[in-house]
A and B are shown apart, each in its own frame.
Chain A
Amino acid sequence: EVQLLESGGGLVQPGGSLRLSCAASGFTFSGYTMTWVRQTPRKGLEWVSAIGSSGDSTFYADSVKGRFTISRDNSKNTLYLQMNSLRAEDTAVYFCARDDVAVVRGIRVGYYFDSWGQGTLVTVSS
Chain B
Amino acid sequence: DMQMTQSPSSLSASVGDRVTITCRASQSISTFLNWYQQKPGKAPKLLIYAASSLQSGVPSRFSGSGSGTDFTLTISTLHPEDFATYYCQQSNSPPHTFGGGTKVEIK
A61 x B95 contact (CB < 8 A): yes
- Please name the residue on chain A nearest to B43 by beta carbon: A116
Q: Mark A26-66, 1 if CB is under 8 A from B, else 0.
A: 00000000010000000011110010000000010110000
Q: Which residues of B lie under 8 Å from residue A47 when comparing CB positions?
A: 94-98
Q: Which of B32, B51, B87 has the most CB of A within 10 A?
A: B32
Residue contact A46 to B98, C-beta cutoff 8 Å: yes
A98-126 Cβ-contact flags toward B at 8 Å (1 or 0): 00001000000111111011110000000
Are the C-beta atoms of A102 and B53 separated by less than 8 Å?
A: yes
For B34-59 the 0/1 string (1 means CB < 8 A from A) is: 10100000111110011101010000
Find out whether the CB atom of B100 lies under 8 angstroms from the CB atom of A110: no
A68 on the B face (CB < 8 A):
no
A-B contact pairs, 8 of them (CB 8 A): A44-B100, A47-B95, A111-B96, A113-B46, A113-B89, A114-B46, A114-B49, A114-B55
